[in-house]
């Protein structure tokens, strides 16, 4: 079958030993009832906790331990174009079936779930999940349909300051929540200066809980510069593209109401 990068991948008819290199997709495997098939994860695959505690960790998403992966004898490795390092993935592709996702939108996330669910013989479970997600985001649309669109900056890092731009899943989630990303003209995760915020007519600044652990003390630092509202948000609900999305619509509604 093909992966989301258009590559043909020879996925075994019965997959028995999976290594997941992506936290969102590890959580999806668990949701689909595939715990017994998971043999390896990354140190960032923290959900669910029992998987994090009991499965072999093969390094970080961009710093994999190849010898440990080889020892696990996977018959399928699941990765992601953005989250994993290209050179390491190419080495793995020369030795194992490697299925890659490429996710920049909610539609991409839905497609990833459907494709993996089909490949892993979990079609019904996947369709139930997708229907649930679609219903939740449909309700989100109804809730925010008569609300004004709000202009926001979404921060992911400090020293240097970095924000989410276009061509990112976070940008897609902001749009779904009725927000305008003021840094949409810049791609990926640009570095900015705080003085860049002063003329953007912001309704609010969103500080993500990951990858940088923004806390309450950082709110005043930014509010003093731009004079707009600054809110802490659950970064997992803006950037994890598996079943954690079941809570994302409610988080988007909550944040919209704060600004």
- pLDDT tens column, 187-233: 999 999 998 888 898 999 999 999 999 988 899 888 888 878 999 99
Burial class (CB in 10 A: 0-12, 13-18, 19+), 78: buried
Q: Which of 235, 190, 229, 189 is nearest to 208 (CA)?
A: 235
Global pTM reads 0.94
Q: What is the mean pLDDT of the chain?
A: 95
- Residue 78: predicted pLDDT: 98
What is the structure's pLDDT at 221? 86
State which fold the 148-258 domain adopts: Rossmann fold (3.40.50)
**Residue 37 three-state SS:** helix
Per-domain residue ranges for the chain?
18-132, 148-258
CB 46 within 8 A of CB 102: no
The answer to whether residues 25 and 242 touch, using CB atoms and an 8 Å cutoff, is yes
* Per-residue model confidence (pLDDT) at position 247: 97
Asked if the domains 18-132 and 148-258 are classified in one and the same CATH topology, the answer is: yes
CATH-assigned architecture of domain 18-132: 3-Layer(aba) Sandwich (3.40)
Q: Does 74 score more than 90 pLDDT?
A: yes
How far apart are the C-alpha atoms of 26 and 47, rounded to whole Å? 8
161-183 per-residue burial string, b: 16 or more CB within 10 A, e: under 16: bbbbbbebbbbbbbbbbbbebbb
Return all residues near 95 (Cβ < 8 A) that are at least 6 apart.
70
* Average pLDDT over every residue of 102-125: 97
Residue 16 has a pLDDT of 97
């Amino acid at each position: 079958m093909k992966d989301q990068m258009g590559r043909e991948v020879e996925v075994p008819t019965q997959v028995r030993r999976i290594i997941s290199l992506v936290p969102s997709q590890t959580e999806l495997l668990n949701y689909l009832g595939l715990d017994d098939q998971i043999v390896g994860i990354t140190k960032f695959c923290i959900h669910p906790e029992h998987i994090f505690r009991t499965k072999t960790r093969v390094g970080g998403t961009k710093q994999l331990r190849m010898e440990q992966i080889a020892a696990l004898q996977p018959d399928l490795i699941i990765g992601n174009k953005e989250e994993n390092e290209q050179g390491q993935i190419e080495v793995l592709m020369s030795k194992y079936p490697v299925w890659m996702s490429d996710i920049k939108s909610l539609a991409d996330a839905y497609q990833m779930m459907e494709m993996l669910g089909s490949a892993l013989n979990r079609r019904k479970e996947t369709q139930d999940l997708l229907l649930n997600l679609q219903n939740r985001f449909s309700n989100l649309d109804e809730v925010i349909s008569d609300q004004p669109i709000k202009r926001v900056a979404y921060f992911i890092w400090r020293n240097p300051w970095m924000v989410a731009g276009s061509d990112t899943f976070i940008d897609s989630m902001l749009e779904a929540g009725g927000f305008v990303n003021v840094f949409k003209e810049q791609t990926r995760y640009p570095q900015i200066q705080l003085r860049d915020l002063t003329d953007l007519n912001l309704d609010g600044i969103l500080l993500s809980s990951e990858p940088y652990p923004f806390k309450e003390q950082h709110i005043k630092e930014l509010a003093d510069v731009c004079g707009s509202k600054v809110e802490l948000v659950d970064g997992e609900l803006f950037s994890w593209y598996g079943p954690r999305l079941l809570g994302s619509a409610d988080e988007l509604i909550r944040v919209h109401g704060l600004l």
